[in-house]
Chain A
Amino acid sequence: MVETLHRALGLTDAEADAIDAVLGRPANPLETAMFSVMWSEHCSYKSSRLHLRRLPTEAPWVLVGPGEGAGVIDAGDGIAVAMRIESHNHPSAVEPYQGAATGVGGIIRDVFTMGARPIALMDSLRFGPLDEARSRWLFEGVVHGIAGYGNAVGVPTVGGETSFDACYAGNPLVNVFCLGVMPVSRIALARASGTGNLAVLVGASTGRDGIGGVSVLASAGFGAEADDTKRPSVQVGDPFEEKRLIEACLELLDSGLVVGVQDLGGAGITCAVSETAAKGGAGMDVWVSEVHQREPGMTAAEVMTSESQERVLVIVTPADLDAVRAVCERWEVRASVIGAVTGTGRLRVLDAPGGTVLADVPAAALEDGKPLYDRPQRAAAPVELGPVVFDDAGTDLLALLADPSWVYRQYDHQLFLNTVTPPGGDAAVLRLKAPGLPPSRRALAVSTDGNARWCAVDPRAGAAMTVAESCLNVACAGARPVALVNCLNFGNPEHPRVMWELSSAIDGIADACGALGIPVIGGNVSLYNESAGDDIDPTPIVAVLGLIDALERRPPGVGLVDGAALLLVGGQGDLALGGSRWAVERGGGARRGGPLPALDLALHARVVELVAGIVADGLVLGVHDVAEGGLAVALAEMAVASSVGFRVVVGGAAELWTEAPSRAVVCTADPAAVEARAREAGVPVRVLGRAGGDRLVVDGLLDVEAGEAEAAFRGAIPAAVGA
């Protein structure tokens, strides 16, 4: 019976044997359930951990690196910034509103349990094409879920990105990023220490929602019809509970009332108690009867593995318990003492204090004994892009324009009066300000980016280009990139090609971060993104944080100014169309066809520094990096943002569409000064033409009325969703 149980819970026979070996006896059903969630792919990173070690994680300004709830950097002026990104792909595929909503709730808890006040959310979303009804249902449901939870919990959603591709039709991606700020002194870690200290469960009651979310749902692919049967594994969110929990938790940390704090996410109480005990080098007793429960008759295994939302575990001294209860009462959140720290190193589950022992395992075995796999890899054979056909550039351009404002207008993106550059630009720019923080003139720029087309051609180079693009995005806001978090969305790791894609993409991120001097301070891996046996294209998403030392004026944004010069700063002359959106969607090129344009990381570092410098020094009226859609789309987005046209000259049709990296279009009233700065920096630059008029003109190639471009841009998504 136990043998079939472990399989039903997602454990392999070998893993079940390993558990019995750790215990020196057969595991009982509760213990099997606890191991199944902790050793799931989602919680254990058993397929990816070996490879993640290759990422650079250190820099003098890193205060907390990967492995905690969130990464933390020192932003200066006594202020620390915490950030993390996490996927909620599988729950969102099954129940888009709640899946996305609880993704937002989970990432916020990761940040405030570090001691930081969450001040910004961003999302990277991927869906199938919107001409499919199911994709529209998923897209609208996810956006409504993010809005419904994020707005009500009171954390602004300041940016993100959304794109559509057939590979996501059966398995959408919902990656949620959260950033928080705190005085450096408030950093909190998930540690249980001090024998006799108490484990207090704070927040929502524990119910039957989300049982097995990490093992049944997040660590297995979807079959063709399996979706609806997994719906009970999706949790249900309550943003009002979370709002009170944020305030209660930050007050507890401010008052110095907690020894350690850990959010409850995947694997629920089991994960929280084993992680805090293992990291604190302690043991813990947990009393099932003391957990406040939503419904009667729950089994111990249900209580221990439930993923009910809006809960955190705090470790407190007995002397502080009354003060902790008083804070929780004021914020109207429940607090129950559910266990105690012991010196035994064992994690024991008892039915009640002093009662029957239901499970007894070494705490370190759940956490440190997690399996580690070096799964087989097989490189995909390179695909040639093949011949492409340049047809009418104007038609192609109009088809590639899409304004994401239908998405972000549903999100409160202004709360806290920090949002200097709202969604829709290259990077969100935020003042570094929150109640309780020292005053500062510094500001933050954040960009989330991912490009599966590039990574499908060449996962290593594509991932490096993704990091490069994200860094250039924050540079366009005048910021210097200082840290990165990533969310690695891949298919089934038991497929050797997927393992190769994952391993190669990690190498690509390491290449770029190493060359650009940017530490990876946290991340998340989402595997088994497949449906009916088809894996998604490799989709590493990165979020790069940039710092602005003194925000004197609003960054220029992407708009054009009538009469100003247009310059192309950075790489010149690479016309490779491999991996470009135009080649695949409009030019008739082969899917996954390469090669990609070349990325010169040394040049890229100089471009990033130059662009950040000329923006910060006020030499720029408008700036936009060249990425998806190439130069044509970059120029058109600048035009529609400002209702100002342009006339430029380029070297040929391929230059309109190549997505060669390390390039930005700069609109300036002082082209000589920008050219001089570029020469000094060793960065190529050339004059493209001039902004002005009411047409988008590339001599000999393109001539579109600005109004027509604007209508195509504004109308694309509303028309697709029937809004």
Chain B
Amino acid sequence: MTHVGVVVYPGTNCEHDVAEALESVGATCELVWHTRTGLGGCDAVVLPGGFAHGDYLRPGAIARFSPVTAAVAAFARDGGPVLGICNGFQVLTEAGLLPGALQKNRGLAFLCTTVDVRVETTRSALTGEAACGQVLRIPINHFEGNYTCGVETLAELRDGDRIVLRYTDNPNGSVDDIAGICNEAGNVVGLMPHPERASDALLGSVDGLVLLRSFVGAKQLARSG
């Protein structure tokens, strides 16, 4: 059974939601406080949504200095599956584990709504069980979700098959409609939509489950690859 570490910075608020959704697809979860310096026992790690350290200065700008972030970086270097959702994605870009940055939404307002995203690759830790071209209905919930990067980085992302999800109707101004990306190896993934919020029919969508199932099953892929 996959054991997932769910990182909790002061100000993180989606940790219980992520753990609940991951457990519903067969994982076990452990909350990992931000002062931890190791991730012993974890097969995969999630940086959930919220406002790490209040998002003060800039989302993720302080969280990258929390001790656990260095442990996440080491875990990622070893090929361990790492998923950053929303604020977690912002932390991963600030920590240099993923390229680019998330700036304020076009429209300069917080946006909580449900959008369609298209799966663009299946070679990431988040999309192994999805199909390319599959459209998923998943909530977004952010002020700084407008993905941006330089032209060279964008070319690398495209050429390296590293754009994991694209919005079908861009809600926030992200370059190239990007909703999620991965690193070169595909084991580190960041996305702005919240798959855990689309994990129960009672809440309106179960489209996030295929992503979470892929992630929970991604351990073997990463270690064998």
B141 adjacent to A414 (CB under 8 Å): yes
Whether the pair A152, B21 counts as a contact (CB closer than 8 A) is no
Q: What sequence of 0s and 1s flags, for each residue 585-619 of chain A, a beta carbon within 8 Å of any chain B beta carbon? A: 00000000000000000000000000000000000
- Residue of A147, A415, A420, A431 near B110 (CB, 8 A) is A147
Task: Determine which of B16, B112, B200 lies in contact with A412 in the assembled complex, contact meaning CB atoms within 8 Å.
Answer: B112
How far, in angstroms, from A240 to B13 measured CA to CA in the complex? Answer: 11
A419 at the interface (CB under 8 A from B): yes
B55 proximity list for chain A (CB < 8 A): 152, 240
List residues of chain A with CB within 8 A of the CB of B96.
none
Q: Is B196 positioned at the interface, with any CB of A under 8 Å from its CB?
A: yes
- Residue-wise, chain B 98-119 has the 8 Å CB interface mask toward A (1 for contact) of 0000000001011111000000
Out of B14, B54, B194, B202, name the residue touching A240 (CB < 8 Å).
B54
- CB–CB B11/A243 < 8 A: yes
Pairwise interchain contact B54-A238, C-beta atoms closer than 8 A: yes
- Is A391 located at the chain interface by the 8 A CB criterion? no
Tell me whether B10 and A243 are in contact (CB under 8 A): yes
Does chain B have a CB within 8 A of A132? no
Answer whether residue A331 sits at the interface, using C-beta atoms and an 8 A cutoff: yes
Given known contacts A152-B54, A239-B54, A243-B13, A417 and B200 CB-to-CB distance under 8 angstroms = yes
Number of interface residues of B (CB under 8 A): 32
Q: Which secondary structure dominates chain B's binding surface? A: mixed
Flag if A417 contacts B20 (CB, 8 Å).
yes
Question: A417 with B203: in contact, given A152-B54, A410-B110 (CB under 8 Å)?
Answer: yes
Cβ contact within 8 Å between A417 and B54? no
The distance from the CB of A422 to the nearest CB of chain B, in whole angstroms, is 8
Contacts of B202 in A (CB 8 A): 420, 431, 551, 553-554
Check B197–A410 contact: CB distance below 8 A. no
Distance in angstroms between the alpha carbons of A148 and B141 in the assembled complex: 13
Residue of B nearest to A408 (CB): B112
B53-A413 in contact (CB<8A): no
Question: Would you call B50 an interface residue if the criterion is a C-beta within 8 Å of the partner chain's C-beta atoms?
Answer: yes
Residue in B17, B21, B201 with the greatest tally of chain A CB atoms within 10 Å: B17
B199 at the interface (CB under 8 A from A): yes
Cβ contact within 8 Å between A240 and B141: no
Which chain B residues border A723 with CB–CB below 8 Å? 107, 109
Taking the complex as formed, is B139 at the interface, i.e. its CB lies under 8 A from any CB of chain A? yes
**A-contact 0/1 string along B196-213, CB 8 Å cutoff:** 110111111000000000
- Of the candidates A147, A414, A553, the one having the most CB atoms from chain B within 10 angstroms of its own CB is A414
Are A239 and B51 CB-contacts (below 8 A) given A244-B10, A554-B202? yes
Do residues A414 and B139 form an inter-chain contact, with CB atoms below 8 A? yes
Which residues of the other chain, B, contact A657 by a CB distance below 8 angstroms? none
B56 within 8 A of A: yes
Task: Say yes or no: B10 contacts A240, CB within 8 Å.
Answer: yes
CB 8 Å contact bits of A396-438 with B (1 = contact, 0 = none): 0000000000001111111111011000000000010001000
B46 vs chain A, min Cβ distance (A): 15
Are A411 and B112 interface neighbours, CB within 8 A?
yes
- Per the bound structure, the CA–CA distance linking A244 and B11 in Å amounts to 7
Residue A368 lies at the interface, judged by CB distance under 8 Å to chain B: no
Can you name the residue of chain A whose Cβ is closest to the Cβ of B35?
A330
When distances are taken between beta carbons in the complex, the residues of chain A under 8 Å from B113 are 409
- CB of A409 within 8 A of CB of B112, answer yes
B51 touches A410 (CB 8 A): no
The interface residues of chain B lying within 8 Å CB-to-CB of A377 are: none
Interface residue from B17, B112, B139, B141 paired with A416 (Cβ < 8 Å): B17
A152 to B16, CA, bound (A): 16
Q: CB distance A414 to B197 under 8 Å?
A: yes
Q: For the complex, is A332 an interface residue (Cβ under 8 Å from B)?
A: yes
Q: Which of B10, B112, B139, B199 has the most CB of A within 10 A?
A: B112
- Our pick among B51, B111, B112 for the contact of A414 (Cβ within 8 Å) is B112
Contact indicator B112/A413 (Cβ below 8 Å): yes
Which residues in A have their C-beta under 8 angstroms from that of B197? 414, 417
CB neighbours (8 Å) of A151 from chain B are 51, 110, 112, 141, 143
Q: Which of A189-247 contact B (CB under 8 A)?
A: 238-240, 243-244
Asked whether A154 is an interface residue with its Cβ less than 8 Å from the other chain, the reply is: yes
Q: Which of B76-116 touch A at CB < 8 Å?
A: 107, 109-113
Cα A148 to Cα B54 in complex, Å, equals 11
CA distance A100 to B92 in the complex (A): 32
* B137-151 interface code vs A (CB 8 A; 1 in, 0 out): 001010100000000
Residues of A contacting B112 with CB < 8 Å?
Answer: 151, 408-414
Give the distance to chain A from B26, nearest Cβ to Cβ, in Å.
Answer: 18
Binary contact track A280-303/B, C-beta < 8 Å → 1, others 0:
000000000000000000000000
Which chain B residues border A419 with CB–CB below 8 Å?
A: 203
Interface set, chain A 110-147, CB cutoff 8 A to B: 144, 147
Give complex CA distance A196, B139 in Å: 52
- Contact between A240 and B51, CB atoms less than 8 A apart: yes
Residue on B nearest A405 in the bound complex, by CB: B113
User: B204 — nearest CB in chain A belongs to which residue?
Assistant: A554
What is the bound-complex CA distance between A12 and B107, given in angstroms? 50
Instruction: Indicate the member of A240, A331, A415, A417 with the most B CB atoms within 10 Å.
Output: A417
State whether A154 and B10 are in contact (beta carbons under 8 Å apart), knowing that A240-B51, A410-B111, A417-B196 are contacts in the complex. Answer: no
How many Å lie between the Cα of A554 and that of B206 in the bound state? 14
**Distance in Å: Cβ of A639 to nearest Cβ of chain B:** 21
| Nearest-Cβ distance from residue A684 to partner chain B, whole angstroms | 34
Inter-chain contact A240/B110, CB cutoff 8 Å: no
Given A154-B50, A240-B53, A420:B203 Cβ within 8 A = yes
CB of B54 within 8 A of CB of A409, answer no
Complex contact A417–B11 (CB within 8 A)? no
Q: How far is the CA of A419 from the CA of B197 in the complex (A)?
A: 10
Q: Which A residues between 549 and 575 are near B, CB-CB below 8 angstroms? A: 551, 553-554
Could you tell me which residues of chain B, from 37 to 78, have a CB within 8 Å of some CB in chain A?
A: 50-51, 53-56
**Complex alpha-carbon distance, A5 and B73, angstroms:** 61
Contact partners of B200 in chain A: CB under 8 A: 417
With a cutoff of 8 Å between Cβ atoms, the chain B residues found around residue A411 in the complex are: 110, 112
Chain A residues closer than 8 Å to B53, beta-carbon distance: 240
In the assembled complex, the CB of B132 is this many whole angstroms from the nearest CB of chain A, namely 28
CA distance A244 to B52 in the complex (A): 11
Measured in the bound complex, the distance between the Cα atoms of B50 and A36 in whole Å is 40
CB distance from B192 to the nearest CB of A (A): 13
Once A410-B109, A417-B199 are accepted as A-B contacts, the answer to whether A332 and B50 lie under 8 Å apart by CB is no
Cβ-closest chain B residue relative to A240: B54
In the complex, A332 Cα to B11 Cα: how many Å? 11
Candidate in B13, B107, B201 with the most chain A CB atoms within 10 angstroms = B13
8 CB contacts below 8 A, A to B, read: A239-B51, A240-B11, A240-B51, A409-B109, A409-B112, A410-B109, A416-B17, A554-B201
Closest 10 CB pairs of A and B: A240-B54, A154-B13, A152-B51, A410-B110, A147-B110, A417-B17, A414-B197, A412-B141, A412-B112, A435-B16
Q: With A410-B111, A417-B200 given, name 14 new contacts (CB 8 A).
A: A154-B13, A239-B54, A243-B11, A243-B51, A243-B54, A408-B112, A410-B112, A413-B112, A414-B139, A414-B197, A415-B13, A417-B196, A417-B199, A417-B203
